[in-house]
Structure 1
């Protein structure tokens, strides 16, 4: 347990109440309204970093898509990022993919990460949407 706490301290993550997590998502739909791709996550603002838990990614049938998580500090300077690999579906039903948990590490910056942007990209039709949230 001590090694876990030491690692958390080195990443600039401190304990926050469980209620601090918020569900965030970004999605892209075709002009006709059909959902092409969507990513969701439980976002928790830690001391200087951001925890993204239960990351889930949807890709509609016969499509290729990917997502990015971006962490920014100060006046919009990128400090951390997480990229998914390109996922292509060939099934007739599309599918949800689980990515578990990831951390945007802002421990190297005074004040840490203050803004998170989530891009979702439909590579089949060159469509994209971005959701942005800020530390309160």
Structure 2
């Protein structure tokens, strides 16, 4: 028994026990995002999409997504995972009634490098706030793994 404990300690010290380390998925630092589109003429906020980014080995998850839409308008959030476009998803279009509205019941989105044609890791994402009321005008911000 004592020899097994010493062997285990040596294996850990020398680094010959990679299965213990590899068993947990690698994750980069998490971020929050916030992207806003303002009307060109008035400068008024029309659409804002915000939430959390969680990076994985080959994919990225967008969680706690909230979409703010100006009264009387419609908008959505768009999410592109790339090295070239690898995966693309959008939220459903949401329309505000007579009051500004923040929709928080939006399903989490995962962009997966394995589902695209390249089968590579997603290292960058473009997030767009899209104003559907005015012809799909949008603002775009890019977020990277590092």
TM range (shorter): 0.7 to 0.9
Separation in structure 2 between the aligned mates of residue 28 and residue 79 of structure 1, nearest angstrom: 24
Question: CA deviation digits over 1:50-93, x for unaligned, max 9?
Answer: 011111101110001122101013xxx211111122222222x2
* Alignment-derived partner of residue 16 in structure 1: 27
Aligned-residue Cα RMSD (Å) equals 2.0
CA shift at 1:125, angstroms?
Answer: 2.2
- Residue ranges of structure 1 left out of the alignment (5+ in a row): 1-12
Greater mean alpha carbon deviation, residues 49-58 or residues 27-36: 27-36
Separation in structure 1 between the aligned mates of residue 69 and residue 126 of structure 2, nearest angstrom: 19
- With normalisation by structure 2, the TM-score equals 0.72
Report the secondary structure of 2:103's partner residue.
strand
Residue 94, structure 1, aligned to residue 100, structure 2: yes
Separation in structure 2 between the aligned mates of residue 101 and residue 84 of structure 1, nearest angstrom: 9
Separation in structure 2 between the aligned mates of residue 94 and residue 121 of structure 1, nearest angstrom: 16
Structure having the higher Rg: 2
CA shift at 1:110, angstroms?
Answer: 5.3
Greater fraction of residues in helix: 2
Query: Paired residue for 1:64, among 61, 74, 78?
Result: 74
CA shift at 1:39, angstroms?
Answer: 0.2
Q: How many residues align?
A: 118
